[in-house]
Amino acid sequence: MATVSYGKVWESTENWGQKWEVAYSNWIASDAVSKDMFISRASPYFGIATDCADAAYAMRVIFSFERKLPFATLVKMNGRDVLLGNETDRFDAVHPPHKRLVAFVNYLSTVKDSSQLGYYDTYPVAVSALMPGDLYTFELKTRDGPIRHVLTIKRINDNGTFDFLYSTQNVRRNNLYFFRNPNNNIKVRSLLFKQNQEAQFRQKEESKGFRRFLWPNYLGQSPKTFPESFSYSIDQFEWARTLDRRQYANKLREELQKTVELPQVVLFRYLEQVCQLVLERVAIVKEAVDFLKPKGKKFCMDKEELFLYSTPMRDAILEESFEQLKIEWQKFTGKNELESTEQDLSLVRVLFDSRMEKSRLHNFCPVKVSPGLILDLRTIYSRLKSGKLSSNPNDSVFARWGEEKASNECQME
């Protein structure tokens, strides 16, 4: 392998070993790693602008920098595998050291992506060995093509769910805008933090799924050379290939959970998650609508703007979350568990049974998509399933929510 250069972003005086991997995990789980660490002016890492894979790389780089550990990643340049890491002299003119680090991380975001993260810089880890700092990566087949995503595990909860820390293109766009225009009054985006989430997307390809960063000296090496402490395993992919969606979810829980949740608690957690995802979509759609307002009726977003404002992945995740909720509900249909609980889980029955009055859904999760228009979860689920919700940010707010047909004047590429 070629080496980019022999200068240094920082001097590495330590070497990676299992004690440092555990220390990295504890650091990720601690308050030192927060959703505001890249946007707070009090943070030494203010100015890092992250996309989904960028956030994962940034955290690994920062820990390596602070502990004087080596960091390296394989990059395809001119058809060759090039080792790019803390020894590059590309940023020697940037001072002080923390600003040099920020420049290095922001450069990485231009040459690395979620695909390379899976193929080059990480390996699949046994589910039973997962810990904070490990990654959950997945690819979704959406109506607009395949899209990848990367989430960092912040915590593994006793019920077998995860707390995730991650970024999106929308976060990156807002942060970059703020850094270039620090006097402008806009809402700066932090990293996103989600609690009690399940890894709901089965991944059959071995470059995805649950992963852990490789130490620099193992980059490009065969898994046969990995020490036992790596907990390398491809079992998760065998589960994904042989188990259906429900069986796969149950298998993950069995491997991870320390306490068993009551069925009612699981069901209501899914219901709250669906509501949260829908309300987040309201805010994202509004951003696209507000962006279009001053542009004029004939304006069509360019490729970059479409990438920033479209919602194919969000819509795919929302649909999958509805389906998970429905599967859990169908397990207990007709049983006493749903008839009377503190959390009134009969709301789920209202959501999926068209014979029942749906007004209660307005009280539980009113979805105000525009002034004077409030939708309910049952309506949104029905439109999502029938393909009536538009992920194209060029469409009107009414087309985005299935109130009217998309105009098709501006097609997504």
Residue 390 has pLDDT above 50, yes or no: yes
What's the CA angle centered on 305, arms 399 and 398, to 5 degrees?
Answer: 10
CA-nearest of 13, 15, 3, 6 to 218 is 15
- Which residue type does 3 have? T
Which pLDDT belongs to residue 266? Answer: 86
What does the H/E/C string look like for the chain?
A: CEECCCCCCCCCCCCCCHHHHHHHHHHHHCCCCCCCCCCCCCCCCCCCCCCHHHHHHHHHHHHHHHCCCCCEEEEEECCEEEEEECCCCCCCCCCCHHHHHHHHHHHHHHHCCHHHHHHHHEEEECHHHCCCCCEEEEEEEECCEEEEEEEEEEEECCCCCEEEEECCHHHHHHHHHHHHCCCCCCCCCCCEEEEEECCCCCCCCCCCEEEEECCHHHCCCCHHHCCHHHCECCHHHHHHHHCCHHHHHHHHHHHHCCCCCCHHHHHHHHHHHHHHHHHHHHHHHHHHHHHHHHHCCCCCCCHHHHHHHCCHHHHHHHHHHHHHHHHHHHHHCCCHHHCCCCCCCHHHHHHHCCCCCCHHHHHHCCEEEECCEEECHHHHHHHHHCCCCCCCCCCCHHHHCCCCCCCCCCCCC
- With cut-offs at 50, 70 and 90, classify the pLDDT of residue 174: low
Which pLDDT belongs to residue 379? Answer: 95
- Which residue type does 251 have? K
The mean of the pLDDT values for the chain is 88
Which is it for the CA torsion 115, 118, 119, 121, positive or negative? positive
Which pLDDT belongs to residue 7? Answer: 54
What would the pLDDT profile of 53-77 be if each residue is shown by its tens digit? 899 999 999 999 999 999 999 987 7
Which pLDDT belongs to residue 337? Answer: 46
Average pLDDT value for residue range 319-341: 72
Least confident stretch, 160-174, 207-221, 224-238, 337-351: 337-351
- With cut-offs at 50, 70 and 90, classify the pLDDT of residue 338: very low
Which pLDDT belongs to residue 245? Answer: 83
Which pLDDT belongs to residue 23? Answer: 98
In percent, the amount of the chain with pLDDT more than 90 equals 59
Least confident stretch, 160-169, 231-240, 313-322, 334-343: 334-343
Which pLDDT belongs to residue 125? Answer: 98
Q: Which two tokens stand for residue 123?
A: 């390996």
Average pLDDT value for residue range 5-16: 83
Identify whether the C-beta of residue 165 lies closer than 8 Å to the C-beta of residue 193.
yes
Residue 27 has pLDDT above 50, yes or no: yes
Helix 312-332 to helix 263-292 angle, to the nearest 10 degrees? 160
The residues facing 145 across adjacent strands are: 142
Most confident listed range (153-162, 293-302, 311-320): 153-162
Average pLDDT value for residue range 152-177: 85
**Residue 182 and residue 162: Cα distance in Å, rounded?**
34
What would the pLDDT profile of 120-149 be if each residue is shown by its tens digit? 999 999 999 999 999 999 998 877 678 889
Which pLDDT belongs to residue 6? Answer: 39
What would the pLDDT profile of 84-117 be if each residue is shown by its tens digit? 999 999 898 998 999 999 999 989 988 888 888 9
Residue 209 has pLDDT above 50, yes or no: yes
Q: How far is CA 410 from CA 299, 314, 388, 403, in A?
A: 8, 20, 17, 18
Helix 245-256 to helix 235-242 angle, to the nearest 10 degrees? 150
In percent, the amount of the chain with pLDDT more than 70 equals 89
- With cut-offs at 50, 70 and 90, classify the pLDDT of residue 344: low
Which pLDDT belongs to residue 333? Answer: 66
